[in-house]
Amino acid sequence: MKEILQISNLEKVYSNGSFVKKAVDNISFSVNTGEIFGLLGPNGAGKTSIIKCICGLLDYEGGDVLVNGYSMKSKRRKGLKYISAVLEGNRNIYWRMTVDENLDFFSGINGMSRSSIKDRKEYLLQQFQLQEQRNQVVNKLSRGMKQKVAIAISLITNKDIVLLDEPTLGLDVAMSHEMRKLLRSVAKEEGKTILLSTHDMNVVEETCDRLVIINEGQIIAKDTVSNLKTVFNNDIYQISYIGVINNSLMSGMEKIVVKLEIKEGEDHSKMIIHLHEATELFRIFEMIKEAPIKLISIDRVTKNLEGIFLDLLKEAGTHEVF
Ligand SMILES: Nc1ncnc2c1ncn2[C@@H]1O[C@H](COP(=O)(O)OP(=O)(O)OP(=O)(O)O)[C@@H](O)[C@H]1O
């Protein structure tokens, strides 16, 4: 599989007099042709800075960004031929023009004639369900519609890579769901490579193949979405019981578990155990059988990406697979 986007040891420093902020600190990852890749991180993590470095809007101090092999430092013009971007605030839309006029205008400034984009425009209007709004001034459309127009504009020039900074920010649940569906179909049907930034785990979970999680300018996790969920869901069980755990049970379990939490309740208590392997649960059972507690239930705990994300931020460890 071809790595159409290669980011290696990227560093971005903002400075102004005595103010110095390293917003991007030694970031490396690659994006394959046709995949949807996520940049996930809390506010201020450095996602927008990375996207701006990739699309040539920001110079960077260290490392490099290769777009289809072209360095955005030394061959920016060539690299830009493969990239379109939708940044926060939808700066690629003219609010006083209609949807149709915007699509014509932005293809025009990219050197494409109206006749050459005719079919593609119809395809995108239909794909984005914007036919009814095509003659409306963008300013009068809802936020979700405006976002759809912005993404349609980024696709009209048919470039290989689409960078999207927070594509679902501020959208209501229904529109956010529609946007995720749209992104998946754009990648699948058009073979586009999409790099998106978000702090919404649901967006990553539903759309992305792989992701990096960024915190304070650094990568803290790098994996496929499904692998990350499997690895971090590694055998966590919630055991509800009645009684008090004695010293011998506690010390026996502590020798086996990765982590053990006890939540005492009035009528029953719970222990959350993290195991290296599921088979270790049998050893825990054997110990519980000998102890003066009564087992009520055992449930496997599954974490969604949000839980994993929050745990990673808490531990600030690093998990890198590719
Ligand atoms: N032009 C700038 N000048 C100085 N500092 C900046 C500038 N732009 C961003 N920063 C700082 O760099 C860090 C990373 O910001 P960035 O906008 O890249 O993060 P982000 O992950 O996109 O955050 P958000 O999700 O809030 O948009 C933050 O601490 C931010 O305050």
Tell me, yes or no, whether 319 lies in a domain.
no
Atom 29 of ligand 1: nearest residue by CA position = 44
Residue with the bigger pLDDT between 92 and 62: it is: 62
Query: Same structural domain for residues 44 and 191?
Result: yes
Q: Is residue 308 part of a domain?
A: no
Q: Which of 49, 58, 88, 213 to mutate to test the pocket of ligand 1 (most atoms within 8 A of CB)?
A: 49
Which tens digit of pLDDT belongs to each residue from 126-152? 988 899 999 999 999 988 889 889 989
pLDDT of residue 70: 96
pLDDT of residue 117: 87
Domain identity same for 196 and 96: yes
Give yes or no: residues 104 and 155 share one domain.
Answer: yes
How far apart are the CA of 77 and the centre of ligand 1, in A? 25
Picking from 196, 230, 264, the residue at the C-terminal end of a domain is 230
- Number of independent structural domains in the chain: 2
User: Looking at residue 168, what is its pLDDT?
Assistant: 87
CA-atom Rg of the chain in angstroms: 25
**Residue range(s) defining the domain that contains residue 251:** 234-303
Handedness of CA 128, 131, 133, 134 (dihedral sign): positive
Give the DSSP H/E element, type plus range, for residue 72.
none
CA-wise closest residue to 301 among 218, 226, 237 = 237
The answer to which of 54-68, 223-237, 267-281 has the lowest mean pLDDT is 223-237
Q: Are residues 41 and 119 in the same domain?
A: yes
* ipTM here: 0.97
47 Cβ closer than 6 Å to some ligand 1 atom = yes
Is 56 a member of any domain? yes
User: pLDDT category, 303, cuts 50, 70, 90?
Assistant: confident
- Distance (Å, whole) CA 285 – CA 283: 5
- CATH number of the domain encompassing residue 241: 3.30.70.260
- Which residue from 125, 51, 60 is spatially nearest to 88, judged by alpha carbons? 51
Most confident of 63-77, 78-92, 148-162: 63-77
Say whether both 208 and 264 belong to one domain: no
Q: Of 205, 230, 255, which marks where a domain is finished?
A: 230
Please state the pTM of the whole predicted model.
Answer: 0.81
Ligand 1, from 13, 14, 215: best to mutate by most atoms within 8 Å of Cβ? 14
Model confidence at 300: pLDDT above 90: no
3-state secondary structure (DSSP) of residue 114:
helix
Based on the domain organization, do 156 and 299 belong to the same domain? Answer: no
More confidently predicted of 306 and 197: 197
Q: Higher pLDDT residue, 232 or 220?
A: 220
Q: Are residues 117 and 22 in the same domain?
A: yes
C-alpha dist (Å) from residue 131 to 109, 122, 134, 135, 188: 23, 8, 5, 8, 22
- Dist CA 104 CA 113 (whole Å): 8
The pLDDT of 265-279, averaged and rounded, is: 88
Domain match, 62 and 151 both: yes
Residue 311 forms part of a structural domain: no
Q: Do 38 and 152 sit in the same domain of this protein?
A: yes
Q: Using a 6 Å cutoff on CB, does residue 107 contact ligand 1?
A: no
Per-position DSSP letters for 238-275, written without gaps between them? EEEEEE---HHHHHHHHTT-SEEEEE--SS-EEEEEE-
Q: Whose CA is nearest to atom 11 of ligand 1?
A: 23
pLDDT at position 322: 66
Residues 295 and 169 in one domain: no
pLDDT of residue 234: 63
The domain that holds 112 is classified in CATH as: 3.40.50.300
Of 47, 58, 203, the residue with max ligand 1 atoms within 8 A of its CB, to mutate for a pocket test, comes to: 47
Evaluate whether residue 314 is within a structural domain.
no
Q: Is 300 exposed, middle or buried (0-12, 13-18, 19+ CB in 10 A)?
A: exposed
pLDDT single digits (tens) 225-249? 888 777 666 678 999 999 999 999 9
| pLDDT tier for residue 318 given thresholds of 50, 70 and 90 | low
**Could you tell me if residue 317 is inside a domain?**
no
Ligand 1 neighbourhood includes 95 CB (under 6 angstroms): no
For residues 192 and 261, state if they share a domain: no
Q: Which atom of ligand 1 is nearest the CA belonging to 165?
A: 22
Rounded distance, CA 28 to CA 35, Å? 17
Q: Is 77 in the same domain as 198?
A: yes
Distance (Å) from CA 7 to ligand 1 centroid: 19
